Amino acid sequence: MTDSNIIKLTAAQIAEKIASGELTAVEVTEAHLARIEAVDEKVHAFLHVDREGALAQARAVDEKRARGEKLGPLAGVPLALKDIFTTEGVPTTVGSKILEGWIPPYDATLTKRLKAADVVILGKTNMDEFAMGSSTENSAYGPTGNPWDLTKIPGGSGGGSSAALASFQAPLAIGTDTGGSIRQPAAVTGTVGVKPTYGAVSRYGMVAFSSSLDQGGPCARTVLDAALLHEVIAGHDPLDSTSIDAPVPPVVEAARNGSVRGMRVGVVKQFRGEGYQAGVIQRFDESVALLKELGAEIVELDCPSFDLALSAYYLIAPSECSSNLARFDGLRYGLRTGDDGGHSAEEVTSLTREAGFGPEVKRRIMLGTYALSSGYYDAYYGSAQKVRTLITRDFEKAFEQVDVIVSPTTPTTAFAIGERADDPMAMYLADLCTIPTNLAGNAAMSLPCGLAPEDNLPVGLQIIAPAMQDDRLYKVGAAVEAAFVEKWGHPLLEEAPSL
């Protein structure tokens, strides 16, 4: 097979061909490395490409197969890893100057699980600094372009991972989702992104932004590929105190047997209205009609507290960020500025943070520190946590009536790079539909549901399931994906943008 054919294969197809001997892992890895070399100068999906490490992992897979050892379901499949997970011997910057050049001495649990499954890690992808943003414009190393239109954003904070998928530089990727940073990039790039139930994927070795919200998850071009990756990375980890000690839901089985017949699907009235692009609503309404055609019962839902989710999130997340980022003091690791013998430790810390943190990180640290300060804690952070409880209760009431909830993933398609850079509130509104799920800890997926007629850019359909019912996402997602492909073709695989 030619390189151009190899890079268009799904992860499941690649694994099957490697297991059968039709392709070697080295051939597959070299094809993707060649693609990165050819297009990433324009896309800027990667911050670091580990060519030698990837080829060594690929050779190890081929040697296992030559010895007759059984290969896992994703053995030899290349993957792009968001630069927020520590990787032994490979730079981890979290998109920030404050960690420029830092080489971790250990692997995150997720990284270990990928390696144990013989997944080939191509390198680390670009992201908004410390995962704070919705466009990947907050990276200290420059923005990433959306492969559908390089003048548009690829989403954030995991825009590098979504762009790597959409530009065929990798068939699989890993993202993290604090307020929508897996699902929103998936929506605007025509790919699949899943936020597992909070605690389902270990956070050990994932650089923290907001500890009660952060969750790693799979990114792919198909629902089945996402399920295969989900099964690899999920599971209890004693090194993470928030890790759920329970079996991983049967996500792969659900993805292989997608169906919505007899299911009750909820549509929340708060997830539409002012600020929603006409083409996004059109594609969403078509998706709801399709679900009905496939045998689902559509139930209208009213979740009034969802209108308060954005405000609550932007108190809780910055508060936790101000606490987590206090460790970056210029004294222990990473950047150190002003250590010339003429400054005190406090001055070195101040100078380092001034030089190392970008504007959005500083903004959120200041917001969070203020919200946690004496006299304001109860009024701001405490009140936001009460709203979080109300949102969780609204979800609980909703899931008494329905099996899953659907909504647009984002109110609009991809906006232009720079369009919202000076308007933080407009930027924050990109996560309007995704934030409630993070606050409640539920599972959610975004998958493509066509292109918006006014700009021919991808639109995402969000599916939300109760905690630890992640398999429902894949059951519904696979059914919708199959129906879409039959009716209109896969929006990415059939109408892939030209680079």
Phi–psi pair at 443, nearest 5 degrees: -100, 145
From CA 234, how far away is CA 216, in angstroms rounded? 9
- List all residues 6 or more positions away from 153 whose beta carbon is below 8 Å from its beta carbon: 134, 135, 136, 137, 143, 144, 146, 159, 188, 414, 415, 416, 417
CA pseudo-torsion sign 342, 347, 348, 354: negative
Virtual torsion, Cα 491, 495, 498, 499, nearest 10 deg: 30
| Active-site choice (96, 134, 139, 157) | 157
CA-based nearest residue to 187, from 10, 413, 484, 11 = 413
Selecting among 135, 181, 202, 287, the annotated active-site residue is: 181
Cα gap 368→326, rounded to integer Å: 12
Whether 188 contacts 434, CB under 8 Å: no
The 10 Å Cβ neighbour count of residue 304 is: 11
Catalytic residue (choose from 17, 82, 124, 152): 82
Residues counted in the chain: 499
Structure tokens at 168: 């065929």
157 classed as catalytic: yes
Contact between 483 and 294 under an 8 Å Cβ cutoff? The reply is: yes
Task: Establish whether 292 is a catalytic residue.
Answer: no
Task: Say how many CA atoms lie within 13 Å of 372 toward its Cβ.
Answer: 16
Which of 289, 237, 233, 227 is closest to 258 using CA atoms? 227
Bridge-partner residues for 44, per DSSP? none
CA angle 336, 89, 65 (to 5 degrees): 165
Catalytic residue numbers, as ranges:
82, 157, 181
